[in-house]
Chain A
Amino acid sequence: MIEFETVSKTYPGHAAAVSDFSLVVPSHRTVVLVGSSGSGKSTLLRTVNRMVEPTSGRVLIDGEDVRERDPVALRRSIGYVLQHGGLLPHRSILDNIATVPVLNGTPKRQARTAASELLERVGLDPRLGRRYPGQLSGGQQQRVGVARALAADPNILLMDEPFGAVDPIMRRELQEELLRLQADLHKTIVFVTHDVDEAFLLGDEVVVLREGGVIAQRGTPAEILGAPADDFVRDFVGADRAEREIHITTVDGRSIAVDGTGRPVGVLAP
Chain B
Amino acid sequence: MNLFLDALAWLTDPAHWTGPGGVPARVLQHLAITFAAVTAAAILALPAGILIGHTRKGAGLVGAIAGAARAIPTLGLLTLLGLALGIGLNAPFIALIVLAVPSVLAGAYAGVQNVDTDITGAARAIGMNPRQVVLQVEIPLAAPVLIGGIRAATLQVVATATLAAYTADFGLGRYLFSGLKSRDYAEMLAGALLVAALALLLELLLAAAQRTAAKRIAAPAPGKSAAPKPDSPREKEPV
Contacts and interface: CB of A to CB of B under 8 A. Distances in A.
Given A90-B217, A137-B222, A99 B125 contact: no
Interface string B120-133: 01111111110010
Interface string A73-104: 11111001011111111101000000110010
Contacts of B119: 86, 88-89
Contacts of B221: 84-87, 89, 133, 141
A188 interface: no
Interface residues of B, number: 32
Residue among A76, A89, A133 with the most chain B CB within 10 A?
A: A89
A132 B218 contact: yes
Given A82-B118, A88-B119, A90-B141, A73 B127 contact: yes
Nearest to B136: A88
B238 interface: yes
B218 A90 contact: yes
Contacts of B229: 135
Residue among A80, A88, A128 with the most chain B CB within 10 A?
A: A88
A264 to B, nearest CB: 34
Contacts of A135: 218-219, 227-230, 232, 234
A82 B127 CA distance: 14
B217 A89 contact: yes
Contacts of A165: 222-223
Interface residues of A, number: 39
A92 B238 contact: yes
A30 interface: no
Contacts of A73: 127
A88 B136 CA distance: 9
A38 interface: no
A148 interface: yes
B230 A49 contact: no
Contact of B118 (A72, A75, A86): A86
A202 B175 CA distance: 78
A137 B238 CA distance: 21
Nearest to A160: B125
Interface in A24-78: 46, 49, 51, 72-77
- 3 closest residue pairs by CB, A with B: A86-B122, A134-B219, A134-B218
Given A72-B127, A80-B126, A142-B222, 11 more contacts: A76-B127, A77-B127, A80-B122, A83-B223, A84-B222, A86-B119, A88-B122, A89-B221, A133-B221, A135-B219, A137-B222
28 contacts: A46-B125, A72-B128, A75-B127, A76-B126, A80-B125, A84-B118, A84-B221, A85-B222, A86-B119, A86-B125, A87-B221, A89-B119, A89-B217, A90-B218, A100-B126, A100-B127, A128-B230, A132-B218, A133-B219, A134-B219, A135-B218, A135-B228, A135-B230, A136-B222, A136-B230, A137-B230, A141-B221, A149-B126
